[in-house]
Structure 1
């Protein structure tokens, strides 16, 4: 990051540059447009800085259509750019738009990885980790989340590694409802291979010490 005042601080003070860029998501004719300050996009994302300030075709365009992004996910991303906050798991906007909290947050993580927004990626991972290591959260990330993550991220991504670690330590087959049992057949090979390797390490620790190893601390999933 540059050492001058952050773009979001400038926005709060009313000193942010006035240049606006339209970001669009969703299939036509249901596509939605979000108008975002260019300075915010360029501050947080090297990708958008190169795209909007460089010689790319998009830099000269009047808008950018993100065809691989859900409308609700882009809405969360834009809100984060201006507030640096992500919705809670019981946020009615999330429940109404996409369903379970961890699915849109997974989409936000993927967006931040795809468009190179490191701060947002870390924030999404923080919330994901906290939620699934909190007694008030769900027991496990759903298989739909695992499919989405592994089909859109490298195996080395923090979110993918976390899913493997959680399942290797805490999963039992009686946790899966009928829908999850059916969904097992579609689990990605990278997830299953990683789970097999990590489960072997967990069992080795169990035999040696009499207990399974604890889930790694949050810092283990920093990128």
Structure 2
């Protein structure tokens, strides 16, 4: 079902490139079917989706190949125990270390 034609989908404001089998995109998505099989001039060079987050397109891309959705938990930054103690103390006192306050 995949075929051999690959297309480039550039995603997000940073234009992260994804290389995807054209046949999969056009089989499962009317949007991409119209783009690649229609008269979209830019489809010859690939398609840009600047308003889509790369992580989200990565989920869609994975689904195209597996028909299942796998959501990876975000990577957690390392921290030491004092960070938890400081956060708990701030919560108990009603203080926040956030730069933005909720009105």
Counterpart position of 1:58 = 42
**Residues 1-223 of structure 1 correspond to what in structure 2 (within 5 A)?**
10=1, 16-28=2-14, 31-59=15-43, 61-88=44-71, 91-92=72-73, 95-96=74-75, 182=102
TM-score (norm 1): 0.33
Higher strand share: 2
| Count of residues in correspondence between the two structures | 80
Structure 1 segments (4+ residues) deviating >4 Å: none
TM-score (norm 2): 0.66
> Which structure carries more relative contact order (alpha carbon 8 Å, separation 6+)?
2
Q: Deviations over 1:152-198 (max 9, x none)?
A: xxxxxxxxxxxxxxxxxxxxxxxxxx9xxx4xx7xxxxxxxxxxxxx
Q: 2:5, 2:22 within 8 Å by CA — same for their partners in 1?
A: yes
Partner SS, residue 75 of structure 2:
helix
Higher helix share: 1
CA RMSD of aligned residues (A): 2.3
**Structure whose alpha-carbon radius of gyration is higher:** 2
Counterpart position of 2:89 = none
Q: CA deviation at 1:26?
A: 2.1
Q: 2:13, 2:51 within 8 Å by CA — same for their partners in 1?
A: no
Partner SS, residue 42 of structure 1:
helix
